[in-house]
């Protein structure tokens, strides 16, 4: 979920399915050939996940990245809920990426 501010959150169900926990680090990767396609990747460097004490799950803060994702859906009012694939996508042989299912969002 992308908040109206700077928070990017994984709800409790998504965090459990991905194995995401407080203290893990993640990056978001935008596909260069398909800029509407985004992927979450666990990484030794990146945004540090914190526990979302209010709702469960995990979150990190990055105002610029949150704004970039919100700009992709100009007709929607935040918070914007973006489903995340729980099975990894292999973009290259050495790393796993979890797709943000942006096509599943209705912008009507």
The reported pTM is 0.89
Residues 6+ apart with CB under 8 A from 51: 22, 57, 58
Q: What tens digit of pLDDT does each residue of 43-70 get?
A: 999 999 999 999 999 999 999 999 999 9
pLDDT at 107 over 90: no
Residues linked to residue 92 through DSSP beta bridges, in sequence order:
95
The three-point CA angle 11-37-39 to 5° equals: 50
Q: Is the C-alpha dihedral spanning 61, 46, 21, 94 positive or negative?
A: positive
Overall average pLDDT of the 77-94 stretch: 88
């Amino acid at each position: 979920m992308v908040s109206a501010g700077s928070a990017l959150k994984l709800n409790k169900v998504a965090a459990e399915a991905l194995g995401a926990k407080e203290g893990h680090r993640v990056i978001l990767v935008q596909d260069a050939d398909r800029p509407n396609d985004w992927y979450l990747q666990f990484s030794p460097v990146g945004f540090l996940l914190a526990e979302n004490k209010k709702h469960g799950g995990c979150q990190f803060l990055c105002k610029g990245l949150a704004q970039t994702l919100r700009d992709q859906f100009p007709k929607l009012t935040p918070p914007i809920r973006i489903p995340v694939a729980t099975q990894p996508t292999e973009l290259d042989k050495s790393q796993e990426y979890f797709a943000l299912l942006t096509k599943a969002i209705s912008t009507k």
